[in-house]
């Protein structure tokens, strides 16, 4: 196998960042971040000048999964579940004192409704403690530990919303097909229906207007692309479109509680862009762009007065850095790099591409070419994304850069069903697992071959989760196109994909039946596209990676799938880890996987 650049150690690509998840305290006097210690992730706080650092957590059994500033001197945090412990919500003072567990119930998941500085020392959260399939809304006093039921879920509420004062004012209900937006002026009032839509129409609340008469939301009601709109809280009618983009969905809208207004709308063409709605924030971004040229910027956190900011940078060739920026003195201080072991000059460019599918759709994607090699006749790794209603995005991707450094062109397709390109493009992927979604990937590969970029005899397909399913289905449906394939936590059987669905996803079951298919009425389709029933059609080497504790994949069927491949004399590399779930968390296991993937691809894509 040709090597594109000087061989970069595989460990360098998958180093766990030293410091992540930076936040700034509401008063702007402290910075917090997550940092690994003894293979677990913990919270650290330091003074704004960096002179004093305090480690706030030290649990040797569980990592911190999420945290936020509850006040100027206290932090709330969630610990992930471990073998013997359920997830829990905790509080700690920023000097490390008064550490306490606030909420932890057996077999119960915790979802935060409100986050950020608390009102009256109380936080809104939802728990599926009473019924595993639904989440009731609670208010928790973090000083006394008193947990009070605010509203019992009638069985159809899928999301709760609080206003800036920490009051439960809005909810989304679903019958599995139709979604209803509910609203109330005061917390002691009954919820009233604002509007109801089929789930294909999305209305995602962003914030309440400062007078509380309206809400800002992302909506594709009566349009193909998501737009930022203003809705009347009582009638549900759309007052105005604040921003829309003719080519892609508006994917985010950022609201400033301090200013009481929207500051920008975000959208993603081939890269993320902003449409500013506030001149003062536009000035801030322009100054940051001058201080940090040729890089993408994300404001990760700010103090309550929006005078100090945590800024995250990145590009396609650089995982980026964290900075502290102060408006008052326009001072920019670097806090840390995400991964300092990689040199930008050794990383490959991720370039946008597009092609026409066989039925005339424009399909977008990204092509990353290995450095130092001719742009023709290249070995290619095709990487279907997970979801499938997600998308590939421009930016740094350690898997992509690792594969490019080994001499492969990496091809990522935003096939139909991907989010971000409008309602019609998303709906075009319904019940097309292994169908037209797979055809889009195939058409993209054929386009690469027609452009003389790909060596038709050296193409592999590799993916995670749905991408793993797609990789296996590609080997079944197009055996002549791929030299080998790899599946990491990939689904093999659509029937058990529904059988094993977590209980708290039950309210969405009818929606899944419409988007993926119904195992009873669409049984022939399920059987036709499920790899478990077609092992006889796979003729090339396969790598399978699977965790024993994966809640989304039936592990026994993965074992059976591998066994049948081996019985059919198909070369199989099987990486099975007893203590892993859907994603390999242990760094040694992750590195073992990528090392075996490297050997697997080298053996199968080298020139004969």
Q: What is the pLDDT of residues 367-387, one digit of tens each?
A: 999 999 999 999 999 999 999
pTM for this predicted structure: 0.93
pLDDT classification of 84: cutoffs 50, 70, 90 = low
Give the orientation angle of helix 398-405 with respect to helix 587-605, to 10 degrees. Answer: 40
**pLDDT at residue number 466:** 96
* Pair of tokens at residue 22: 């930076």
Look at 211-215, 347-351, 431-435 and tell me which has the smallest mean pLDDT.
211-215
Q: What residues form DSSP beta bridges with 384?
A: none
Residue 1: pLDDT above 50? Answer: no
Residue 186: left if φ>0, alpha if ψ -120 to 50, beta else—which one? beta
**pLDDT at residue number 2:** 46
CA distance 24 to 30: 6
Look at 110-124, 133-147, 379-393, 535-549 and tell me which has the smallest mean pLDDT.
110-124
Q: What is the pLDDT of residues 251-273, one digit of tens each?
A: 999 999 999 999 999 999 999 99
Q: Which residue has the higher pLDDT, 348 or 552?
A: 348
Strands 40-47 and 542-547: unpaired
**pLDDT at residue number 356:** 98
State the average pLDDT for the chain.
93
Contacts of 590 (CB under 8 A, 6+ apart): 14, 584
| Sheet strands (E) in 105-256 | 110-112, 122-127, 136-141, 147-151, 157-162, 168-174, 178-183, 192-198, 203-208, 214-219, 227-232, 238-243, 250-256
Residue 579: pLDDT above 60? Answer: yes
pLDDT classification of 115: cutoffs 50, 70, 90 = confident
Measured at the alpha carbon of residue 113, what is the angle toward residues 281 and 166, in degrees to the nearest 5? 70
Tokens 């702007």 correspond to: 28
pLDDT classification of 85: cutoffs 50, 70, 90 = low
Measured at the alpha carbon of residue 34, what is the angle toward residues 29 and 35, in degrees to the nearest 5? 120
User: In this structure, are residues 206 and 261 in contact, taking their beta carbons and an 8 Å threshold?
Assistant: no
User: In this structure, are residues 117 and 74 in contact, taking their beta carbons and an 8 Å threshold?
Assistant: no
Domains observed in the chain: 344-605 (3.40.50.1820)
Residue 4: pLDDT above 60? Answer: no
- Which of 26-40, 111-125, 403-417 ranks highest by mean pLDDT? 403-417
Q: What is the pLDDT of residues 162-217, one digit of tens each?
A: 988 899 999 999 988 899 999 999 999 999 999 999 999 999 999 999 888 899 99
Contacts of 480 (CB under 8 A, 6+ apart): none
**pLDDT at residue number 608:** 62
Per-residue DSSP letter, 303: -
**pLDDT at residue number 45:** 97
Residue 3: pLDDT above 70? Answer: no
Percent of the chain with pLDDT over 90: 84
Contacts of 94 (CB under 8 A, 6+ apart): 25, 30, 32, 45, 54, 56, 73, 74, 75
* Pair of tokens at residue 176: 């599995």
* 3-class state of residue 570 by DSSP: coil
Secondary structure, 3-state, 221-267: CCCCCCEEEEEECCCCCEEEEEECCCCCCEEEEEEECCCCEEEEEEE
**pLDDT at residue number 13:** 96
Residue 504: pLDDT above 60? Answer: yes
Residue 5: pLDDT above 50? Answer: no
Q: What is the pLDDT of residues 278-292, one digit of tens each?
A: 999 999 999 999 999
**pLDDT at residue number 340:** 92
User: In this structure, are residues 476 and 534 in contact, taking their beta carbons and an 8 Å threshold?
Assistant: yes
Percent of the chain with pLDDT over 70: 98
């Amino acid at each position: 196998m040709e090597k594109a650049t000087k061989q970069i150690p595989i460990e360098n690509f998958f180093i766990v960042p030293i410091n992540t998840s930076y936040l700034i305290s509401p008063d702007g006097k402290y910075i917090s971040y997550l940092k690994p210690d003894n293979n677990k992730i913990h919270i650290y706080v330091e003074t704004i000048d960096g002179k004093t650092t305090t480690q706030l957590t030290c649990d040797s059994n569980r990592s911190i999964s999420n945290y936020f500033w509850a006040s100027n001197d206290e932090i709330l945090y969630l610990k992930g579940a471990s073998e013997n412990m359920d997830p829990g919500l905790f509080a700690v003072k920023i000097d490390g004192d008064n550490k306490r567990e606030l909420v932890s119930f057996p077999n119960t998941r915790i979802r935060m409704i409100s986050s950020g500085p608390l009102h009256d020392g109380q936080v809104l959260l939802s728990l599926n403690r009473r019924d595993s399939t639904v989440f009731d809304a609670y208010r928790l006093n973090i000083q006394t530990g008193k947990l009070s039921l605010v509203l019992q879920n009638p069985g159809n509420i899928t999301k709760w919303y609080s206003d800036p004062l920490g009051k439960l004012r809005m909810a989304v209900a679903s019958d599995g097909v139709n979604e209803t937006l509910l609203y109330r002026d005061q917390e002691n009032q009954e919820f009233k229906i604002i509007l109801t839509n089929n789930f294909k129409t999305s209305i995602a609340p962003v914030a309440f207007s400062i007078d509380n008469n309206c809400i800002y939301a992302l909506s594709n009601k009566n349009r193909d692309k998501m737009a930022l709109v203003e809705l009347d809280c009582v009638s549900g009618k759309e007052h105005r479109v604040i921003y829309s983009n003719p080519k892609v969905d508006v994917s985010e809208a950022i609201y400033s509680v301090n200013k009481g207004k929207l500051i920008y709308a975000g959208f993603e063409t081939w890269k993320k862009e902003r449409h500013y709605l506030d001149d003062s924030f536009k000035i801030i971004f322009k100054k940051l762009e001058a201080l940090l040229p040729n890089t993408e910027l994300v404001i990760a956190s700010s103090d309550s007065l929006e005078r100090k900011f945590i800024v995250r940078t990145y590009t396609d060739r650089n995982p980026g850095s964290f900075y502290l920026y102060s408006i008052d003195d326009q001072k920019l201080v670097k806090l840390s790099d995400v991964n300092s072991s990689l040199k930008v000059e050794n990383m490959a460019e991720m370039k946008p591409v597009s092609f026409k599918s066989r039925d005339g759709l424009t399909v977008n994607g990204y092509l990353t070419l290995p450095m130092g090699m001719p742009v023709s006749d290249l070995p290619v790794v095709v990487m279907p994304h997970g979801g499938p209603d997600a998308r590939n995005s421009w930016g740094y991707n350690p898997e992509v850069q690792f594969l490019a450094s080994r001499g492969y062109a990496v091809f990522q397709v935003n096939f139909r069903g991907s989010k971000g390109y409008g309602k019609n493009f998303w709906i075009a992927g319904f019940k097309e697992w292994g169908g037209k979604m797979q055809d889009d990937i195939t058409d993209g590969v054929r386009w690469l071959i027609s452009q003389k970029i790909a060596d038709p005899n050296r193409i592999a397909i590799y993916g995670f989760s749905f991408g793993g399913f797609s990789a296996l289905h590609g080997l079944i449906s197009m055996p002549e196109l791929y030299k080998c394939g790899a599946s990491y936590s990939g689904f093999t059987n659509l029937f058990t994909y529904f059988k094993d669905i977590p209980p708290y996803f039950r309210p969405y079951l009818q929606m899944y039946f419409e988007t993926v298919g119904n195992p009873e009425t669409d049984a022939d389709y399920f059987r036709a596209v499920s790899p478990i029933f077609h092992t006889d059609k796979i003729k090339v080497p396969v790598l399978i990676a699977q965790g024993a504790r994966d809640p989304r994949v039936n592990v026994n069927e993965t074992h059976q799938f591998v066994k049948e491949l081996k019985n059919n004399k198909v070369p199989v590399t099987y990486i099975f880890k007893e203590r892993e779930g859907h994603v390999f968390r242990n760094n040694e296991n992750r590195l073992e996987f990528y090392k075996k993937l490297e050997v697997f691809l080298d053996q199968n894509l080298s020139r004969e």
